Chain A
């Protein structure tokens, strides 16, 4: 007999729910019992509305002026903002901490996004595909003849990093530094990454220090790159940002830094986890995997979409309500946080037939792994291309690659991450 969790027992503040797959069951219950559910605050964090139905996430996403991003897009905010944070913010060098497009609202968001989106169109992605394939092959060349290794460190983390660095005109020598910095900035809740940055592990102030140092070092690096591009403009995103004008003004250094920060973090971590998570789920579903490998051209596109639906690399995005708004009879008030849980939308029984089945032929597959609406993932085209090309090349070179250990998961309610994955390549 299995005792079912009552909805009042479900506390999505508990990061440990996300360490394994327990969150899926929690979401399933919420979708059924309380699709728009007030999750009470913890000692540290504010309460928030949990939105777990696909349709409702669509509703929230369609109203970016009502459900705004400028008050933060991850977590529910701290109950009592730390005074040392305020002091630190005052000390920070000019421009650091400026918001990027991910925490911007219309109308400024629309203009800002338009400055960069030409670099991310299907045409831009297609133009880069040969380079993506070349980078993939180089990465697999470095794996070489080895029998076994860590798929995350050796394969899945490398391609997204290479592509985003390539887009930004960053040299090969910077790739390892970028990897460390992004891990610190995003994985700050995880003891392994805290340790690397601070020499300690274990609670919130360490997490903040980890993130702060990661961001500070990244800003320092990008200032150097910007200085170089001012002297020697290239055909890359940083040069484009330096030249760009918004409302007749150039972007400030802070705005450019914020955008670089966002790109390196967003373009790196998420796609890595789609690839790693894809490897895990394929390995767990040998019939689907065999089908895919039997005819890659036929199945790869729908397989990529199913990997995205299944892994949902971002667990959530947060909005703050600016008006009263009602969803399913629940009254949301101004100032309240609303959290959209994408893995839940992607298992919504009202949208996906047999949602807990991994089906590489699933079609249509209108998953929300990239969100939808005003803040739809800018990098979606690149992410899709990277996942596809990686599996094409990987299975061509290592058709018998096998997962040999449990994935070492990131401790985060924001990122669905795999830190390490032991595999036998041959």
Chain B
């Protein structure tokens, strides 16, 4: 599934995802994601209309 710049991820996790006019897809600002932002990113994954976001590696502790 591919990003189409809907921007829900930026709404859910503004410190992690950023849309800009010049890009073809949302940019990830911080990777790996700090623990305190995990829940926001989970929400971004769930609500992405294109289902274009997924965790890449196992999270710490898994």
A interface residues, Cβ below 8 angstroms from B: 61-62, 110, 114, 117, 120-123, 364, 366, 370, 372-374, 376, 380-381
Give A372 to B2 CA distance when docked, in angstroms.
Answer: 12
Closest to B48 in A: A372
Q: Are A110 and B49 in contact (CB under 8 A)?
A: no
Give A191 to B55 CA distance when docked, in angstroms.
Answer: 51
Hey, what's the 0/1 contact readout for B4-43 against A, CB within 8 Å counting as 1? 1111000000000001010000000000000000000000
Instruction: State how many angstroms separate the Cβ of A129 from the closest Cβ of chain B.
Output: 15
Q: Are A117 and B4 in contact (CB under 8 A)?
A: yes
Give A110 to B9 CA distance when docked, in angstroms.
Answer: 20
Is B59 positioned at the interface, with any CB of A under 8 Å from its CB?
no
* Also in contact, A373 and B51, with CB within 8 A (given A123-B21, A366-B46): yes
Neighbouring B residues of A114 by C-beta, 8 Å: 2
Closest to B50 in A: A376
* Also in contact, A366 and B6, with CB within 8 A (given A123-B21, A373-B1, A374-B1): no
Q: Are B4 and A366 in contact (CB under 8 A)?
A: no
Give A117 to B24 CA distance when docked, in angstroms.
Answer: 11
Q: Are A376 and B49 in contact (CB under 8 A)?
A: yes
Give A211 to B10 CA distance when docked, in angstroms.
Answer: 42
Q: How many interface residues does chain B have, given as a range?
A: 10 to 19
Give A369 to B50 CA distance when docked, in angstroms.
Answer: 14
Neighbouring B residues of A121 by C-beta, 8 Å: 4-5
Query: Can you list 12 pairs linking A and B with CB atoms under 8 Å apart?
Result: A62-B1, A121-B5, A122-B6, A123-B21, A364-B47, A372-B51, A373-B51, A374-B51, A376-B4, A376-B6, A376-B49, A376-B50
Going nearest first, the 4 A-B pairs with the smallest beta carbon separation are A376-B49, A373-B51, A121-B5, A117-B4
Q: Are A122 and B2 in contact (CB under 8 A)?
A: no
Give A380 to B46 CA distance when docked, in angstroms.
Answer: 17
Closest to B8 in A: A366
Number of A-B contacts defined by CB within 8 Å: 35
Task: Choose from B7, B47, B51 the contact partner of A122 (Cβ within 8 Å).
Answer: B7
* Also in contact, A373 and B47, with CB within 8 A (given A110-B2, A122-B5, A122-B6): no
Closest to A123 in B: B21
Instruction: State how many angstroms separate the Cβ of A284 from the closest Cβ of chain B.
Output: 28
Q: Are B47 and A370 in contact (CB under 8 A)?
A: no
Q: Are A62 and B47 in contact (CB under 8 A)?
A: no
* Also in contact, A370 and B49, with CB within 8 A (given A110-B2, A123-B21): yes
Give A114 to B52 CA distance when docked, in angstroms.
Answer: 14
Give A110 to B1 CA distance when docked, in angstroms.
Answer: 8
Question: Which residue of A62, A114, A373 has the most chain B CB atoms within 10 A of its CB atom?
Answer: A373
Q: Are B51 and A366 in contact (CB under 8 A)?
A: no
Give A288 to B47 CA distance when docked, in angstroms.
Answer: 26
Neighbouring A residues of B1 by C-beta, 8 Å: 62, 373-374
Neighbouring A residues of B21 by C-beta, 8 Å: 123
Give A364 to B49 CA distance when docked, in angstroms.
Answer: 15
Instruction: State how many angstroms separate the Cβ of A116 from the closest Cβ of chain B.
Output: 11
Q: Are B47 and A366 in contact (CB under 8 A)?
A: yes
Give A382 to B7 CA distance when docked, in angstroms.
Answer: 14
Give A63 to B15 CA distance when docked, in angstroms.
Answer: 29
Neighbouring B residues of A381 by C-beta, 8 Å: 6
Question: Which residue of B19, B47, B49 has the most chain A CB atoms within 10 A of its CB atom?
Answer: B49
Q: Other than the known A62-B51, A374-B1, A376-B49, what 19 A-B pairs have Cβ atoms closer than 8 Å?
A: A61-B51, A110-B2, A117-B4, A121-B5, A122-B6, A122-B7, A123-B5, A123-B21, A364-B47, A366-B46, A366-B47, A370-B49, A373-B1, A373-B50, A373-B51, A376-B4, A376-B50, A380-B49, A381-B6
